[in-house]
Amino acid sequence: MEFRFTAEEEAFRKEVRGFIHEEFPKVRDGESFTRKLAERGWLTMSWPKEHGGQAASHMRQLVYNEEMAYNRAPGQTMGTDRVGPTIILFGTDAQKAELLPRIVKDEIAWCQGFSEPGSGSDLASLQTRAIREGDVYVVNGQKIWTSGAQRADYMILLARTDPDAPKHRGITYLLLDMKLPGITVRPLKQMNGQQHFNEVFFEDVRVPATAVVGEVNRGWYVSTATLDFERSGIGRVIGGLKTYEDVVAYAKGTPARDSAGTLFDNGTIRHALADIGLSFAVGRLMSYRVAWMQSQGMIPNYEASMAKTFGTELHQRMARVAMSTVGMPSQLLGESAPMGGNIPFTYLNAVSLTIAAGTSEVNRNIIAQRGLGMPRG
């Protein structure tokens, strides 16, 4: 494995970095920024040309994703990083023709209807039902922790179509228009004050049978591909690197609280920061390996779970080290607070990272079974 970037890839890195520094400060929200990315073709650069992409290499995509994540810029949407690739693999020609051009242009927003109140880590136990009636499926049930549902145009939905089949079978993957009658979205207020997650209720929602992705009753296997796409990005590692660098700079420039010198002169703080720095280096290489595998035509599975688990747990450790390094001022908000008041949000947002896209426990099971060849526990 060779993780050295070509001169062309490094030139592209400079181009992306310059674009971020020039354009990102101008936008009021992430959506207007991703529209600019769509105009350049960057949102779907690795997609095949026949579907509106540039057929860019996986390593070029990696460079782009790394720069976006490092600079805390929204470089992908749910449509471009998992829904579109899933439709390319499993969708019908009609679904591709209708939806892929709109995803390429960033014209539609998506949400993911997988988790339910009683089916999170054990996702295959989901109970939302879809019953075939003529040329439609009638959907009833509830989803929870649905990110961005209050703004979404479409949902990728898992519903049980055969209640008598084994739980991993009898599930069907549907593309659901969120404007259909019978859908209720209820935002959930989080401890950081935001409302990113939602409950979604379905009452006799009539979904066209043409919305099925893949085979009926085989949606579980389609969903595993979607989750592999979600887990594969380098952003889960690099997204916290800039905050880490800010904490290191703060420690070097802030007088120690109970001794001479700076906070960085404290051995305990210095060692804790060194451990986090080491982990970022390891996590970056793990993500590079996933991208390299994709460039060789391989499909990362447990490798993506390894990178996802390591990266999200690293974010949580980094947030705890940031809090302990800065001390009491780390709880302050506002521009005058250390690091512009970013630390409390970093700490609170990190909580959900080891839950989304499969909990650390689920991903460790994947690593054990598919990576180490161990039996199911």
Q: Return d(Cα 234, Cα 3) in angstroms, integer.
A: 14
Q: What is the DSSP letter of 352?
A: G
Pick the catalytic residue from 66, 67, 116, 230: 230
Q: Are 223 and 173 in contact (CB under 8 A)?
A: yes
Angle between helices 241-253 and 302-326 (to 10 degrees): 20
Q: Is the dihedral of CA 39, 90, 143, 362 positive or negative?
A: negative
Pairing between β-strand 197-208 and β-strand 154-160 as defined by DSSP bridges: unpaired
- 251 token code pair: 């420690």
DSSP state string for 51-93: GT-----HHHHHHHHHHHHHTT-----HIIIIIHHHHHHH--H
Quote the CA–CA distance of 46 and 301 in Å, as a whole number: 19
Per the annotation, the verdict on 230 as an active-site residue is yes
User: How many Cβ atoms from other residues are within 10 Å of residue 113's Cβ?
Assistant: 27
Interatomic CA distance for residues 32 and 36, integer angstroms: 7
Largest CA distance in the chain: 78
Query: CB of 295 within 8 A of CB of 253?
Result: no
What is the rounded CA–CA span in Å between residue 121 and residue 13? 37
Residues 6+ away with beta carbon under 8 Å from 329: 337, 338
Question: Is 261 strand, coil or helix?
Answer: coil
How far is residue 308's CA from residue 283's CA, in Å, rounded to a whole number?
9
- DSSP secondary-structure letter at 256? -
Contacts of 88 (CB under 8 A, 6+ apart): 47, 48, 51, 96, 100
The residues annotated with a catalytic role in the active site are 230
